[in-house]
Structure 1
């Protein structure tokens, strides 16, 4: 794949153009990555005790509320963040999706989903004991998003 950068003082607004002979997985992923980068409005700082951490969002499995606080879970650790869930929904990239009133998860880390027709479905992540539950209300949106990513 070639990457070309054109610089011109005649351009009023920056523009990214992807030229391809077909839309394949690589092109789709590139488009999503560019959209995600452009949509980031703020940098998220993670806290543990009195220490600030600057983690890649890709390390985050999910965000959840507990006792009026928001926690970010990685495979091995838990950090506090100073946002509300609705604020995180606005600033997180597209691979994060709300799955219950109290949880936003990273689609890139889903290992399995155990469906329950009568109650919440369970999502598990690879190489960790951590899991979250998807409410029946959000289940269809989650499945649609996963299906969309396979295309």
Structure 2
């Protein structure tokens, strides 16, 4: 694929043109990525009321006891969104789903222990220990570039 950038002062806003002989999966993926907008902050609930948390401060998001929790380095909050809704809105460069009940911030992963059979131990910053299911291993590896 060739990429070309043209600087023209007459354009007040960027314009992207894709020229191709046919629609391919690669083109569809590029279009999808260009149209995606990710949130950079999240409204969460605590005993103090509604707070705004920067997504870069989130260590993990997990479901437990019929609720969805957002854990930062300092606090644990609740949100009213479901995990799949948050997964769609969060930037995939930073967040990865590691099980049916958990999404983690890849920047917060300290190490992953693959010695256990059936699951993978994940140690996050703040000494938070969690587990990734085997079902998500290939997705995790792909997002981490392994």
Judging by fraction of residues, say which structure has more helix. 1
- Structure 1 unaligned segments of length 5 or more: list them: 17-34
Is the contact made by 2:41 and 2:54 (CA closer than 8 Å) also made in structure 1?
no
Partner of 1:28: none
Structure 2-normalised TM-score? 0.72
Residues in 1 aligned to 2:80 and 2:37: alpha-carbon distance in whole angstroms: 20
Please tell me the root mean square deviation across aligned C-alpha atoms, in Å.
2.9
**Alignment equivalent of 1:129, drawn from 119, 127, 130:** 127
What SS does structure 2 have at the residue aligned with 1:44?
strand
Is the contact made by 2:42 and 2:54 (CA closer than 8 Å) also made in structure 1?
no
Is the contact made by 2:123 and 2:129 (CA closer than 8 Å) also made in structure 1?
yes
Larger radius of gyration: 2
Q: Which moved more, 1:57-66 or 1:138-147?
A: 138-147
Structure 1 ranges of 4+ moved more than 2 A: 4-9, 40-44
- Structure 2 unaligned segments of length 5 or more: list them: 1-6, 17-32
Judging by fraction of residues, say which structure has more strand. 2
Is the contact made by 1:42 and 1:91 (CA closer than 8 Å) also made in structure 2?
no
Structure 1-normalised TM-score? 0.70
Residues matched between the structures, number: 124
Partner of 2:15: 15
- 1:15 offset after TM fit, Å? 3.3
* Structure 1 residues 124 and 41, CA gap change in structure 2 (3 angstroms): closer
